[in-house]
Amino acid sequence: MIIVCFTPYYIEEELLSSEKVYVWKKIKEILSVKENWKVFAFSTIDRIDGIIIGTFYGLLVWMSLGFITLEGTTVTYLLSDEGLELYLISFFFSILAVAGILLGSFIGGKLADKNRRHAVYFGHLVYIPWLIFSVFLISLEGAIIGYITFAFSNTVITVANQTIRGDMSRKYPKMKATYYAFTISATNFGMMIGAFIGGLIFIILALSGTDFIVIFFIIAIFCAGIQLLSFWVFMTIDPVEYEFKRHLK
């Protein structure tokens, strides 16, 4: 972390204009544009499901493989040596997720560089079906496919979305960081909402005696609905704001 803090020093940027910037006036300008609010809404909704599905899919896989049991809201580990085995299992699934992230970053970047909208389409085309059918990807082989696909599709969407937000921020050359901060705040707000809703759904259903696989399926369908809503909001954003001109004809 200490080393990373010094890396921005080596990033070359254009010299900032010495012209005075009226910050509050520019903020009001940003907040008065309808398209910006669509971007903020899209950024919020898009991140609601990430923490929910990631957490509960992991629990479902671990339970199906016999590593844990779930009784109500209590998780019990079924490992002979909790420390070492738990670390090795976590490491294995983390490697799968990293593989998906690397693949998603590369493909998502390539797609977004060619066509912003198509990158978003592709990411959702993979991610939403995964949400619906993830309940069946709980064997060891299924989990391998599931973890990689989840990380891959999520990363493709994230890369495309971040690119679009960066394009949108160019409308405010002297307030790019502020505009981007608004989108990041919206993203964090979405994750906070997701964590709250996911926990609430789990507690209500678990305390009512609902089987965990049913709980997961309900949560997965909820997340798929959230992603469809996110995609719909994205479709309402005028592509003139972010897309290459050659794709606007």
pLDDT over 90 percentage in the chain: 35
Is-contact 97 106, C-beta < 8 A?
A: no
pTM higher than 0.75, yes or no?
A: yes
Q: Could you tell me if residue 230 is inside a domain?
A: yes
pLDDT at 14: 57
Calculate ∠ Cα 73-76-82, nearest 5°: 145
Q: Could you tell me if residue 24 is inside a domain?
A: no
Place of tokens 């909001």: 233
Q: Residue 46: which domain range?
A: 32-242
Instruction: Give CA–CA dist 233/162, Å, rounded.
Output: 16
pLDDT, one tens digit per residue, over 195-228 is 999 889 988 988 888 888 899 999 999 999 999 9
Q: Could you tell me if residue 8 is inside a domain?
A: no
CATH number of the domain that residue 204 is part of: 1.20.1250.20
pLDDT, one tens digit per residue, over 55-103 is 889 888 888 887 777 765 566 665 555 556 777 777 888 899 999 999 9
- Arithmetic mean of pLDDT over the chain: 83
